[in-house]
Amino acid sequence: MSLESPFYAYVQDNEDQLHLFTFVCRDAADQWWTWIQVLEAEFNSKHGPTQDKGEIRRISPQFYVLGGSRAWGFHCAHSLLLEKGAKAIIEDKILESSHTQLIIPPSPRIDYLNGKAYYIRSRAQPEFFWNFDWDGNYLKLSNEAGPTTFIIERASTPFDQPPRENEDVLLENVEVTLMAIGPGSRKEVISDFGNFLRGCSYSVGKETPLRFKFRLLTKERGFKLNPKDKTIQFRQDGLGDRWELVD
């Protein structure tokens, strides 16, 4: 899962004080600017244009200037940040001044751990989960009670010593395997000749677990639902469906 770097922008008020805004990314800053313009349009429609309303002008993506009344303009920016997910208002010590820094916090990043059991859920239909059919030995999508849990394991380890529990985080490019866990049984997942997912039959001896880049499951749509029979197919071309892991 890739993350963008934080995006910083300065807002200068009519007293020439700089206020540092920290956004999770450039897109968040652009969205904030859209909200500002919407609010300004709403103000004008109710009260008519006025020189004292304190509009915010966009000089560049990282520099904005308040005009007119500082109180209205800064309250406008402040309120929008709070309404749209700001979690903290802190004093900005970096610039050694008393102005306020407003922060839109990054969305929390989920750590997926090696060897941990997860449910696999459809993003399009969140009530549907991957289920292993133990009688038919195949994977399907269903909304039946008690979905199958799957252990996701690193296919090979780069460590001389195993990491401590809850610290072996799976990165996007690491190769992993899947193991279906059932009542008193478990089967490693393989891909058959049609790339449909089955359970490994150890008696055959020639079947090997499916190994794939972790990002194909969490990000790049490497698994596709067959709408006819609700079975799951492995795809490496990114033309699959979107899934999420639930613990």
**Predicted model pTM:** 0.58
CATH 2.40.50.140 for domain 116-246, yes or no, is no
Classify residue 204 by its DSSP letter: T
Phi, psi (deg, nearest 5) at residue 147: -65, 160
- Give long-range contacts, CB 8 A cutoff, 24+ apart: 217-222: 217/120, 217/152, 217/176, 217/243, 217/245, 218/1, 218/112, 218/172, 218/243, 218/244, 218/245, 219/1, 219/172
- Mapped onto helix, strand or coil, the DSSP state of residue 190 is strand
pLDDT of residue 229: 93
Classify residue 14 by its DSSP letter: T
Q: Where are the chain's structural domains?
A: 7-103, 116-246
Q: Cβ neighbours of residue 76 under 8 Å, at least 6 residues apart?
A: 36, 39, 40, 54, 56
Tens of pLDDT, residue by residue, the chain (247 residues): 345 678 888 888 777 778 888 887 887 787 778 777 777 767 667 766 655 555 677 888 888 887 765 555 566 666 666 555 444 443 333 344 444 445 555 556 678 999 999 999 999 999 999 999 999 999 999 998 889 999 999 898 766 666 666 678 888 888 999 999 998 889 999 998 889 999 986 545 567 899 999 999 998 899 999 999 999 999 988 889 999 999 8
pLDDT of residue 94: 38
CA gap 247, 233 in Å, rounded: 22
CA gap 127, 142 in Å, rounded: 8
CA gap 92, 101 in Å, rounded: 5
Phi, psi (deg, nearest 5) at residue 83: -70, -30
